Chain A
Amino acid sequence: MASLDPRLNRVDIYKYHQELQPKNSMDQFETYEVFVQSKESKPYQHEGIVHAPNQDMAFLFGKEQFSRRGVCTGLAVVLTEKIMVSPMTDNEENVYDHVSVASEKAGEKETYEVFHLFKRGKHMQHQGSVTAKGFHDAYQQAAGTYNTGKVVLNVWVIRHDDILFNTDDERVIWSTLSDKKFRDAIAYKALDKIKKFKEEQTASN
């Protein structure tokens, strides 16, 4: 049976349905959370996920899915699994109110990035870094450094080294985005055409 799509007529599309096997459980890979910095003066913001087999692919995919329209200055991806998430609070309660008192930790100090959610429905936003020995220490440090009075509903803490950021050299990949006018509503003005058409209709009536 011929398709209306010439691309599909070049392939036997019906043979595949018969050969269909059930998907194995990781067919669509793991997920990576994607963060975008739209301008240098703005913080990285969580935008969503990509499914990818590894971090390098996740970066390529994240760039396409979350920065193909807006010019941006930074992109970062991290395996969902690597993110430590605090509880989510309710109704104006600050999640940091429940952080226990700091105690001595063992191990090496590393950098951790801290993200806050200030309002349900909004996006996680980067606040800054802390150096700490482990996630719990980092969380407590964040409570000390970034709990500045505004109610925080949710906190994400991520080891800096688990995150893949673009390099400064790579920023050039976003340089021509603003030229792609064909994807902006503004390139599709047609009021004049409608006006002209209406005038012609009236004239011929």
Chain B
Amino acid sequence: MDGPGIPALKHARAFAPGAGSGAEAAFAGAPGPALTIEDVSHAYGARRALDGVSFAVPAGGFAALLGLNGAGKTTLMSLITRLFDTRHGRIRVQGCDVARRPSAALAELGVVFQARTLDLDLSVRDNLLYHAALHGMGRAAARGRVAAVLRDVGLSERARDKARNLSGGQMRRIEIARALMHEPSVLVLDEPTVGLDVASKAAIVAEVRSLSRARGVAVLWATHLLDEVEPGDQVIVLHAGRVLAQGELAEVIAAGRATDLRSAFQALTGATGPGGEGGGEVGGAA
């Protein structure tokens, strides 16, 4: 599980379970955390999917959650979005506990799931209006937001098209637009570029970064593609349900005693790339 000669968690900035101030301490100097994960564990029967995961994403920050397939990213996303209940540990969105105050927490959360979740039989506009209704937005306000978010993702002209007529990249952009409809302060994306071509991937990463900067939205970006990480990002390395390292990109590289993120990731996780020991893909060349 641990990288060769690298003791797991030695470099991870873990904080004590339930310590509310731990999140602030983790990213000293940054604005208060928009999303806090504290000592979260989850199991499917006897199989442990997450084990004491702790990290925080500051307001307006961009955090990349790096992990191979099966690392626990989707389980963590399911807990953050309360598809599953958090039985051990605590997750807070803008200070609201997802388990205790789910309405307040979910209202501040925009979500892009790994699977496509647009209703293919509805138009782009109707998909967005449906989402707005699910967040209690009145019809007039929703129509205004539809125009704004479609403009933001550059797809205003596709508003009346059926979702099934969009390309994979366009669907993803609509899902991002939908996640931003209710003006959340935290955006979580679960491997949003999976299955897209290189150009679409780059466009979507750039779009989310730009929207995050423009609106001060905190982003948690789960991925197994290393080239989606940029120097200013917070990086969290998740492997076999545990956080092996986290911090600024340079800190994670240092934690892996490497010169680049790919080598650091491989050193930390023991993964050797596609088809390697880690059993999953490590893409990109950051």
Do the two chains bind?
no
